[in-house]
Each structure stands twice: as structure tokens, then as C-alpha cells.
Structure 1
Amino acid sequence: MYLSKRKAILVISTSVLVLFFTYTDTKSQDIKITDGDTIKINGEKIRFSGIDTPELKQNCIKEGQSNPCGITAKQILVDKIGNNKVICISEGKDKYKRTLAECFVNDESLSSYLVRSGYAFAYRKYSKKFIPDEDYARINKIGIWGMKFKYPWDYRRNN
């Protein structure tokens, strides 16, 4: 049984459209997580705007014990991203030529998630957007708010 010319064109067109949308939807991302607030997507370095996380070498103190809070911040981000697609909304470039952006996984802001989890600070010098998330973590002593710590900007200045 042969298809009419019109039906054949319709089937081919539909197949091409399905293939196109499938390819663009599942196109892989090469994601590397540098630290708690910086990632690379397909080679583009992206710094999360409006937040600051502890540095990788930074430790906090919990119940007299050293806690690698910088590594923990990175691991929380690794776990949250998992195999999900990351969508970023660029807000420009910083003085180091990194893209400043707010990034999302499954429509959830990674910045908000990190701050609310207590492993990032609202970087008030640049944005007030994440202050409510920080207030929540601080009041509930979540993450580093239940420890002794140095703010990342103070740690960088002294190390």
C-alpha cells in the first residue's frame, strides 16, 4: 500500500519536526561545578549573581570540630544539579569576565536553594534578592548558620 504524495510529505515533515525538537530538547550540556557559586556550561564560566558561598578551602567550626563548609557548599550544588538541565538567565559580566547569572534546575533557582539551605549568603553588596532566603536559614540555624564561620568575603581578604 502506497501513501499519496500529500500523506508522504506530511509524514516526512512530522518526522523531521519530531527529530528536531527531540534533538534540541535533549542536547547534552557539559556542566562542570567549580565551587558552590560557580559553574561552567559548555565551557562558559558562570558566577551566580547575588550570592556568595564559602571558598573550597574554607572550614567552619561545629561543636568544636572543623567542618569543610566550602566543599559542602559545592557538594550541595552537585547533588541539586544531578543530571538535570541547567537554565541560566544572564545578567552581564563581572570584572573577571565571568557571566553573571541566576541559574535554575526544574524551574527552581539554584541561588535561592543554596542560600535557603544555609550554604550561601545573600551578597548584599550586589543584590537584596536573596535576603529572605538567608533570613530563613539564619533564624532556623540551617547549614553554616549552626556553626562558627567567616563570611567568604572576609575569608578571601585574609587568605
Structure 2
Amino acid sequence: MARKKRKKKKTTRRAGPKVWLAAVLTVGALFAFGDDNPAFRRLFLDVVSEVMLNQPVTKILGGGARIIDGDTLDVDGKRVRLHGIDAPESGQTCRRRLRIWDCGAEATRALERLIGISAVTCEKRATDRYGRMVGTCHAGGRNLNARMVRQGYAVAYYQYGGRAYAADEAIARARRAGIWSGRFVTPADWRKGKR
């Protein structure tokens, strides 16, 4: 008995809604913002990549910022905790050789210097147990979360998405930057009373 050969149907794949959304957003951003705004461009690319990775994109804040400490900001009246990093607490001290220094206050000043007079944009990733928005923030084209870790004024907070900043932490350690220039208690342990 001879088998009949079946003709293979040609199937064409159609672009899904994510692809169309990304395309529309890209074209819209190019027309609306051009090449003059690197901070928006970086934030925009972060949003598009999250859409493509099937992670929900939620609220984006922007505007003036007031620095609370090395990992917390107030952006237009909304408290924002920097995602994936943990900076020394206000009042926390570290040791560099025989000298004790106020690494908590220095982390706050480092974040102030990073922001300068730039507007801050923050993309929400979660809400913490205190009701604060947890997000990735940018100012002047710089990822504030990554820069704080790379400069040695925060550690990657592995329990809360800090894996993204592991390379930045390795660079800070190798350079002995910030808190890595001496001995310190991790901010999480400091909060637990380990001094």
C-alpha cells in the first residue's frame, strides 16, 4: 500500500502583541524624544526589555528628588527604595585602618553627588513592607542603583534582586572603593543590631 505524500502547509508567524507594542513604543520615542535625552532613552530601553521579558511594567515616577539616605529617595512626594542594593544606614560607621568614619552619611552624600541637579526617573519593581515603592532610578543618564554599588557606597542586596549588581560589587571590591576600603558590617546586619 503506497502512502500518500502530504503537502506541508506553509505557516507564517505573525508578530504578537509584545512585538507590536515594542515597535510602537520605539517609533513613538524616536519621534517624541530624539537623541537629546539619554536618561529617557535608557529608561525607555529598560521598559521595552521588561515588556519583552514578560514582566509587568508599572508606574514610572519622574521629577525632583530629595535624598533620604544612601538607598532611599523621595521623588515628587513618593518614597522610593532603590531596588537590589543596600547602603549603610544613617549613623552607621565603618572602619578604615585605625579610623572610624561615618559611612552612612558618606553614602547619602554619594547619592546626592550622583544626582546633582538632574531630574530623577524611577521605574517601580515592587512595593516593600513599609509601603515604599522599590525601583530602579536614573539621573543624568546614570543608573543610580548600579553606580552606588560600583562606587562602593552600597552592596548588592542578593535577597532582593541584587544579582543584577554583582559585577558592580566585584569592581568596587577590587578597587577597594567606599566601604570596601576597610571593614564594615553589612547594612542588613547593622539593622539587626550587629555593630
Shorter-chain TM-score tier: 0.7 to 0.9
For the Cα contact (< 8 Å) 1:90–1:99, is it kept in 2? yes
Letter in 1 for 2:106: T
1:137 equivalent in alignment to 2:177: no
Q: How many residues align?
A: 132
Percent of aligned pairs with the same residue? 35
Aligned to 2:160, what secondary structure does the other structure show?
A: coil
Aligned to 1:70, what secondary structure does the other structure show?
A: helix
1:100-133 Cα deviation digits (max 9, x unpaired):
0000012210011000000100001111100000
Distance in 1 (alpha carbons) for counterparts of 2:73 and 2:67: 4
Q: CA deviation at 1:92?
A: 2.1
For the Cα contact (< 8 Å) 2:119–2:139, is it kept in 1? yes
Q: CA deviation at 1:30?
A: 3.9
Output the aligned Cα RMSD.
Answer: 1.3
Q: CA deviation at 1:91?
A: 0.6
Residue 152 of structure 2 corresponds to 118
1:71-113 Cα deviation digits (max 9, x unpaired):
0000000111111010111112111110000000122100110
Q: CA deviation at 1:29?
A: 3.5
Residue 32 of structure 1 corresponds to 66
Q: TM-score, normalised by structure 2?
A: 0.65
Letter in 2 for 1:68: D
For the Cα contact (< 8 Å) 1:61–1:149, is it kept in 2? yes
Residue 3 of structure 1 corresponds to none
Gaps of 5+ in 2: 1-61
1:83 equivalent in alignment to 2:117: yes
1:46-95 Cα deviation digits (max 9, x unpaired):
00010000001100011211110000000000111111010111112111
